[in-house]
Chain A
Amino acid sequence: MGAGHGGVLGAAYLAGDSPVHRMEPHLKLVAVLGFALVVVATPVDAAWAWAAYGGYLALVLGAAAVAGVGPGRLGRGLAIEVPFVLFALLLPFVAQGPRVEVAGIAVSESGLVAAGGLLAKATLSVLAAVVLAATTEPRALLQGLERLRLPSLLVQILMFMIRYADVVGGELKRMRVARESRGFEGRNLSALRVLGPAAGSLFVRSYERGERVHLAMLSRGYTGRMPGGPAAAVPVQAWLTALVLPLGAAAVLASGLMFG
Chain B
Amino acid sequence: MHVPDGFLDVQTSAATAAVAAGGVALALRGARRELDERTAPLAGLTAAFVFAVQMVNFPVGAGTSGHLMGGVLAAVLVGPWTAILCMTVVLMVQALLFADGGLTALGTNVTLLGLVAVAVGWAVFRLLAAVLPRSRGGVLAAAGMGAFVSVPVAALAFVGLFAVGGVADVPLGTVAMAMGGVHVLIGLGEAAITVAVAGAVLAVRPDLVYGARALRRAALLAERPASVPAGAQ
Contacts and interface: CB of A to CB of B under 8 A. Distances in A.
A12 B98 contact: yes
Contacts of B90: 161
Interface centre among B10, B52, B167 (most CB of A within 10 A): B52
A187 B64 CA distance: 9
A200 B42 contact: no
Interface residues of B, number: 73
Interface residues of A, number: 84
A14 to B, nearest CB: 13
B193 A217 contact: no
Contacts of A94: 170-171, 174-175
A52 interface: no
B103 A125 contact: yes
Contact of A168 (B38, B52, B96, B99): B52
Nearest to B37: A224
B113 to A, nearest CB: 15
B60 interface: yes
Contacts of B24: 151, 154
A23 interface: no
Interface string B27-61: 01001100001111111111111011101101111
Interface stretch (A38-46, A63-71, A230-238): A38-46
Output the residue of A40, A114, A133, A189 with the most chain B CB within 10 A. Answer: A40
A118 B46 contact: no
A206 to B, nearest CB: 4
Interface of A: 9, 12, 29, 32-33, 36-37, 39-41, 44, 77, 80-81, 83-84, 91, 94-97, 108, 110-111, 114-115, 117-118, 120-122, 124-126, 129-130, 132-133, 138, 141, 151, 153-154, 156-165, 167-169, 171-172, 186-189, 191-193, 195-204, 206-207, 209-211, 213-214, 217, 224
6 contacts: A110-B168, A126-B102, A164-B45, A199-B196, A207-B49, A211-B38
The 9 closest A-B pairs by CB, nearest first: A160-B44, A196-B196, A200-B200, A121-B6, A114-B168, A210-B45, A125-B5, A129-B99, A156-B40
